[in-house]
Structure 1
C-alpha cells in the first residue's frame, strides 16, 4: 500500500467517525441554545474550558505518549498500556482528594459531578489514543460516533426531566463518557490487556520525557484557543461569552475536515519521517490541505447568515459577526498542527512547547488590547493572529526536519479573496460573495482536478 493511499484510507476512516460525531454535536448546539440562557451557556462553557485546561496537567499528557510509543512496533504494547493506565488511575485518585479539600474550603455547585466528568473524559482520551496507536482506527472512529450519540440522547432525556438544567448538562456528559470507556474496553480488546503488575518505571520515565513538554504546550494551546472566554467574561460579561462560545462552534464545520486529516496525518508523519521522499510528500499533502480548507472557509462564508438564522435561537442572531476570523483562526491552527507533527515524529516535543509560548503571549497581549476596543471580534482577531505567528515560527524551525515547498501564489490569492468575502458579508453584498467563491474555486482548480482524479482512479 502506498503512503498516499494509506493516508487517504486513514482519512476516510477517521472521516466517518468525525463527520458522524461532529454532525451530532452540531445538532446539540440549537438544543443547548434552546434550554440554556446565554448566561448559563457561558457558565457551562467556562467549566468545559477549565476541564480542558486541567486534563493535560492531571494526566501528564500520558495519552500522547501512549499513542507515539504504541506506534513504534519495537515497544511492548501491554507494558505501555498498563504503565499509562496506572498513571491515569493515580492521577484520578489525587484529583478526587483535591476535590475533597476544595469542597471543604469553598462551595462549588456539582463539584464532584464535574470532577467525574473530567476523570472519565481523561480515561476516554487515554484509551482512544492507545487504540489509535495500535491502528484500530475503525473502533476509534466508531467510538467517536457512539460518544456523541450518547451525549445527544442523554441531553434530550435529562433536559426534558424535572432537573436543574446545569445538573442535567453535566450528568449527560458523565454518562456518555462512562459508556464510551466501556465500549473501548470491551470491543477494542483493551479489557484483556489490563494487568497492573505490568507497570514499568523505566517505560514511565521514557513516556514522561516525551510527554512532559507537551503539558505546558497543551496549556499554551489552551490559552490561544480558550482563554478568550475569560477575557470576554471579564470585559463584556457571561452573556457575551455565551455568544462567543456559540460562534466558535460554527467553525467546527471546518474542523470536521481538518480534525479528520490531522488524525490521519499524525500516523503518516511518524511513519514517513525517515523517508527519502518526505520533502515531496509533505509538500504535496500540505498544499492539498491548504487548498481544501480555504475552499471550505469560502463556502461557509457564503452561507453563514443562513446557517445562523436557521439553526440558532433569535437571541443568538448576532453570532455570525464573530465567525469569519474564527474560521481563519482554525485555518492557521491546522497549519500549525500540521507542521507541529514534525516535532512529535522526531521526538523533539520541547519545540512544540516553545513555539506555543510565543503564540500564547501574542494572544494574551492582543486580547487585552483588542477586546476593550473591538468587543467580541477582538478576541477572534487575537486568536487568528496568534495561530498565524505559531505557524510561521514552526515553518522556520522545522526546516531541518523537512523542507516544505508551499504554493504561496494560490494560498495568498485565496486568502485575499476570503478577506474580501468577509467585507462583503458585513455589507450584505451577497452576489459579490458568491462571485469571490467562484474565483477561489478557479484558483484551486489544479487541486480540485487532483482530488477528482484520485477519487476516480481508486487503484
Structure 2
C-alpha cells in the first residue's frame, strides 16, 4: 500500500499543474461561449481537433521512449537526452515549415472560410514549440522534479488565460465603450477586432514561447548529436507508440472532424454544421473533470511504472492501482452526470450550447474507460511489445470511424458520443484480455465491472426520473449520489487487520 501512496502523492503534485491549470483554462469556456457564437467557437474546436493529431506526429512517441531507455542499466542519460532532443529539434522545424506552407489548403479541409490562414500559421508555430519542450518536461518527470514541472506548466496556462481575458474580454469591451473608453486609443494599438477567435490561438502561441524561455536550462545546454545508428533502437520502439497515438487521436478527436462532414443538411434546424461542432465541442469540455484525473495520473504513473518494473509484487500493485483509480472515477462520473443540468449553464453562457448537455454523461463514462485502458496498457510497454498498442488503437480507430459513419446521420453529435464510449470500452476489454495472456495481473475485473454497471444504472435512473420541481429534482439527484457513495464506502472500506493470536 505504501507504493500506492507514493504514486498517489506524485499524482497529487502533478495534479496541481494539471487540475488547477485545466480549471483555469476551463474558466475560459464561459468567456468563449459568451463572446463567440457557436459557429465561431466551431472554428476553435475544429482546429484544435487537428492539433491533437499533429501533436502526436510532432513528438512521435519519443516521450515514452525516453522513459524506457533512460531506465535501462548502463545508459548515459545525458547522451540519450541530447540525441532525442537533436532529433526532435530537426523534425519540429521541418514539420512546422511544412504546415505554414500548407495553411490555406488545410483550412479548406475544415470548411473554414478563407481569410483565416494566419490561424493555421499560429497553430503550426504552437505545435513546433510544444514539441521542442516535450522532452525537457519528460526529463523533469524522470528526475522527479514535479514541483518545477508543475510551476512551469502553471505559468504557461496562467499566461494563456491572462492573454485570452485581455484580448477577448478587456480589449473588446473597451473598444465597444463598455468601460474605460479613454483607453481606446491605447488599446487600438495592440488590439485588432478582425482577429476575433484568432486571439485564442495567438494567446496560446505567446504562452508556448514563454514556456521555451522557462525551460532554457534544459534546452540550451543540449549538445547536438544527430547520428542515425544510435537512434535506430529508439525509433523502432517509438514508431508503434506514434501509430498508437494517432489511432488514439482518431478515437478522441476525429468525431469533431467528421461531424460537419457527415451531418445531414438541416439536421439541427436553423444551425450550420460548424454550429453543431461548436455546441458539441463546448459540451465535450464538461467531461474535462474526468480527463483531469486521467491526465494527472498519467503524468505520475508512466515513470512510476517503469521504475517499479523489477519489483516482485508488481502485479498486485498494478491490480490495487487500477481498483482505486476506477472507483474514484466512478464517483466523478455519478456526481457530475447527475448535476450536469446545474453545472452546464455556469460554463455555457449562451442557451444554444445547452441543447447538447445530454452527451456529457456518455462522454464521462467514455473517458473513464479510456483511463482504465491507460492503466491496463502498462503490460505492453513493460514487455516492449508496443505493437500490441498499435493494433488495439488501430482497431479502435476503425470502430470509431465506422460508428460515426453509421450514427452521425441518425443521432447527430449524440452519435459521436456513443461511438467514443463503445470504442474506449472495447479497447479496455481487448487490452485486458491480451494482458492476461502476456503479463498476468490479478485485476478484480468482475468486481469493478459490477461497480461501473451500478454507477451507470444510478445515472440512468437519475436522468429517466426527472421531477419537475427544481428542489425535488436536486434532492433526488443528491440522494442517488449519496446512496452510491455510501454503498462504495461500506463495501470497499479497508478492513482492520485481525490481531495475531499467540
Retained in 1: the 8 A contact 2:141–2:299?
no
Q: Distance in 2 between matches of 1:200 and 1:288?
A: 44
Q: Which moved more, 1:204-213 or 1:75-84?
A: 75-84
Structure 1 426/28 Cα, relative in aligned 2: closer, same or farther at 3 Å? farther
Match of 1:124 among 127, 133, 139: 133
Retained in 2: the 8 A contact 1:363–1:382?
yes
The residue that corresponds to 1:456 in the other structure is none
| Correspondence 1:324-335 to 2 at 5 A | 324-335=361-372
| Residue-by-residue CA offset, 1:364-407 (whole Å, 9 max, x unaligned) | 11111112222211111110000010000100111221323215
Task: Tell me how far 1:103 sits from its aligned partner.
Answer: 5.4
Retained in 2: the 8 A contact 1:410–1:443?
no
| Correspondence 1:123-162 to 2 at 5 A | 123-159=132-168, 160=171, 161-162=191-192
Gaps of 5+ in 2: 107-113, 172-190, 264-272, 468-472, 497-502
The residue that corresponds to 1:338 in the other structure is 375
Retained in 2: the 8 A contact 1:231–1:367?
yes
The residue that corresponds to 1:194 in the other structure is 222
| Residue-by-residue CA offset, 1:33-81 (whole Å, 9 max, x unaligned) | 1222211211111111112111222333223322333344632222222
Retained in 2: the 8 A contact 1:235–1:371?
yes
Task: Tell me how far 1:114 sits from its aligned partner.
Answer: 2.1
Confirm or deny that 1:77 pairs with 2:77: yes
Q: TM-score, normalized by length of structure 2?
A: 0.83
The residue that corresponds to 2:453 in the other structure is 415
The residue that corresponds to 1:278 in the other structure is 314
Q: Which moved more, 1:122-131 or 1:294-303?
A: 122-131
The residue that corresponds to 1:319 in the other structure is 356
Q: Distance in 2 between matches of 1:20 and 1:447?
A: 32
Match of 1:109 among 113, 117, 120: 117
Structure 1 448/17 Cα, relative in aligned 2: closer, same or farther at 3 Å? farther
Q: What is the RMSD computed on CA atoms of the aligned residues?
A: 2.4
The residue that corresponds to 2:211 in the other structure is 180
Q: Which moved more, 1:102-111 or 1:112-121?
A: 102-111
The residue that corresponds to 1:457 in the other structure is none
Q: Distance in 1 between matches of 2:447 and 2:74?
A: 43
Retained in 2: the 8 A contact 1:414–1:440?
no
Retained in 2: the 8 A contact 1:308–1:319?
no
The residue that corresponds to 2:302 in the other structure is 266
Q: Distance in 2 between matches of 1:441 and 1:250?
A: 22
Q: Distance in 1 between matches of 2:457 and 2:406?
A: 22
The residue that corresponds to 2:92 in the other structure is 92
Q: Which moved more, 1:118-127 or 1:389-398?
A: 118-127
Task: Tell me how far 1:241 sits from its aligned partner.
Answer: 0.8
The residue that corresponds to 2:67 in the other structure is 67
Q: Distance in 1 between matches of 2:445 and 2:387?
A: 28
Confirm or deny that 1:47 pairs with 2:82: no
Structure 1 79/441 Cα, relative in aligned 2: closer, same or farther at 3 Å? same
Confirm or deny that 1:424 pairs with 2:424: no
The residue that corresponds to 1:297 in the other structure is 333
Match of 2:323 among 277, 287, 304: 287
Match of 1:240 among 266, 276, 282: 276
Retained in 2: the 8 A contact 1:28–1:152?
yes
Confirm or deny that 1:363 pairs with 2:393: no
Task: Tell me how far 1:448 sits from its aligned partner.
Answer: 6.5
Q: Distance in 1 between matches of 2:360 and 2:492?
A: 26
Q: Report how many aligned residue pairs link the two structures.
A: 448
Q: Which moved more, 1:234-243 or 1:409-418?
A: 409-418
Structure 1 136/232 Cα, relative in aligned 2: closer, same or farther at 3 Å? same
Q: Distance in 2 between matches of 1:231 and 1:419?
A: 30
The residue that corresponds to 2:8 in the other structure is 8
Match of 2:481 among 432, 437, 441: 437
Q: Which moved more, 1:306-315 or 1:171-180?
A: 306-315
The residue that corresponds to 1:32 in the other structure is 32
Retained in 2: the 8 A contact 1:79–1:200?
no
* Paired residue secondary structure (1:250): helix
Retained in 2: the 8 A contact 1:16–1:141?
yes
Structure 1 288/134 Cα, relative in aligned 2: closer, same or farther at 3 Å? same
Retained in 1: the 8 A contact 2:137–2:149?
yes
* Paired residue secondary structure (2:75): coil
Retained in 2: the 8 A contact 1:321–1:426?
no
Retained in 2: the 8 A contact 1:82–1:194?
yes
Structure 1 55/413 Cα, relative in aligned 2: closer, same or farther at 3 Å? closer
Task: Tell me how far 1:117 sits from its aligned partner.
Answer: 1.3
| Residue-by-residue CA offset, 1:230-284 (whole Å, 9 max, x unaligned) | 2221233111111111111111112222221222221222122232211211111
The structure with the larger Rg is 2
Task: Tell me how far 1:5 sits from its aligned partner.
Answer: 3.2
Structure 1 166/208 Cα, relative in aligned 2: closer, same or farther at 3 Å? same
Q: Distance in 1 between matches of 2:297 and 2:104?
A: 45
The residue that corresponds to 1:225 in the other structure is 252
| Residue-by-residue CA offset, 1:282-301 (whole Å, 9 max, x unaligned) | 11111111111101111112
Task: Tell me how far 1:204 sits from its aligned partner.
Answer: 1.6
